Chain A
Amino acid sequence: GAVVSQHPSRVICKSGTSVKIECRSLDFQATTMFWYRQFPKQSLMLMATSNEGSKATYEQGVEKDKFLINHASLTLSTLTVTSAHPEDSSFYICSAETGGTRDTQYFGPGTRLTVL
């Protein structure tokens, strides 16, 4: 099946630092990847849609200058949380779309970010 990896799985950092999260589709090419955030006991919230070779599309309320997304290749998208603050602590999950008529999304294992 389609496998998506995410790295790192867990990050603990000080307030003010930047954190980079990588999302890779391991056995397929993904022209579109998605970045989600999930706070405890809440649903997934789409942050942005990342398209290879073009700028990401951000959802309303998500600051593009704070959450930098780069989709450098068909198998790699990165999310950088710049100047992270405690309120950015969350579970960040990426997904990649396999394309085709059904556009199934496969999720990475997630990155748990804790900002002290």
Chain B
Amino acid sequence: RKEVEQDPGPFNVPEGATVAFNCTYSNSASQSFFWYRQDCRKEPKLLMSVYSSGNEDGRFTAQLNRASQYISLLIRDSKLSDSATYLCVVNTNAGKSTFGDGTTLTVKP
């Protein structure tokens, strides 16, 4: 079983749709959590950190469920420019980062 698992998708949604991604992690000692987005042939870019209380940044909402060991990313009112691969990243307190394989989103007009 992988340490960090994501549904690879692809998710194909129309503009304006709401889409949610989940990511599960196996290491209960994990301390910090992030969502990155990666465009084709580019480097990953930090989208948002994920806090225990949940956090929102515009159309993006991230949530953490420590009991069930998963994090989620919700995108509302999808735009064409949201098309990318979304990577879940989990850090342990030993400083080790583990990346999920990514979930591919395509937003269509």
With A32-B95, A102-B49, A103-B95 known to touch, is A43 a contact of B102 (CB < 8 Å)?
A: yes
Q: Which of B12-20, B38-46, B69-77 contacts A (4 or more CB under 8 A)?
A: B38-46
Closest to B104 in A: A41
Q: Does B101 contact A (CB under 8 A)?
A: yes
**Chain A 62-82 near chain B by CB (<8 Å), digits 1 or 0:** 000000000000000000000
**Residue A34 at the B interface, CB < 8 A?**
yes
Nearest CB of A to B81, in Å: 19
Q: How many A-B residue pairs have CB under 8 A?
A: 42
| B97 & A106 in contact (Cβ 8 Å cutoff) | no
Measured CB to CB, the closest approach of chain B to A64, in angstroms, equals 18
Is the pair B43, A103 in contact by a Cβ cutoff of 8 Å? no
Whether the pair A107, B43 counts as a contact (CB closer than 8 A) is yes
Which B residues touch A97, using CB under 8 A?
95
Contact of B43 among A34, A43, A93, A101 (CB under 8 A): A93
Contact at A43–B46, with CB atoms within 8 Å?
no
CA distance A91 to B44 in the complex (A): 12
New contact pairs (8) apart from A103-B97, A104-B46, CB-CB < 8 Å: A43-B100, A43-B102, A44-B44, A44-B99, A102-B49, A105-B34, A105-B46, A105-B89
Residues of A within 8 A of B (CB): 32, 34, 42-44, 46, 91, 93, 97, 101-110, 112
Interface residues of B (CB under 8 A from A): 32, 34, 41-46, 49, 87, 89, 91, 95, 97, 99-102
